[in-house]
Amino acid sequence: MTYIFRLAILLLLFAGCKTPEARQPEQVQSGSFIKISAERNKKLNEREQLRIEAIMAQNPERDYKASANGFWYYYDVKVEQDTITPSFGDLVNFDYNIKDLNGNTIYTQQELGNQNYAMDQEELFSGLREGLKLMKPNESATFLFPSQKAYGYYGDKNKIRTNIPLMVKVTVNNIKPKQ
């Protein structure tokens, strides 16, 4: 009996000392989620760009400009003589409203209130941040932002839903250079 007992303990010790073996995955996916996501985003971007181009075609009287940052804009009020545009750290005081591309108001200027923004030092969606850099004091411009330049996939967790391109009218009241 002790012989069988000793043999059982010896077998258990031997089996317990075995090195662990790597388990094989049940299903192998080689980046397919990323590929599918990239394709979906390309199609979304194309649809949004076509909508924006249609808006521009419907309003030929406006002098739309394409920015290097992937959005379009036109000046409602253009200031020619002043050459001050904001740079890093400058305090920009501005007013704005937000609409969808159908012209439906999402946020009024009164809801958003007057804004003071330290250029590139505070949170602001990327399109508006880049748009402000193009403006001078007392200028007013309307920007057409594809969703990836606006609030993108997440929206603003309030009124702006997922992947909504925006039309934003901005008026820069003044720019105070960084001290």
pTM of the model: 0.80
SS3 (DSSP) at 92 = strand
- Domains of the chain and any CATH numbers: 63-176 (3.10.50.40)
Q: What pLDDT is recorded for position 3?
A: 79
How many angstroms separate the Cα of 79 from the Cα of each of 19, 110, 136, 137, 141?
A: 75, 24, 7, 8, 11
pLDDT, tens digit (0-9, with 9 covering 90-100), for 74-122: 999 999 887 789 999 999 999 999 999 999 999 999 999 999 999 999 9
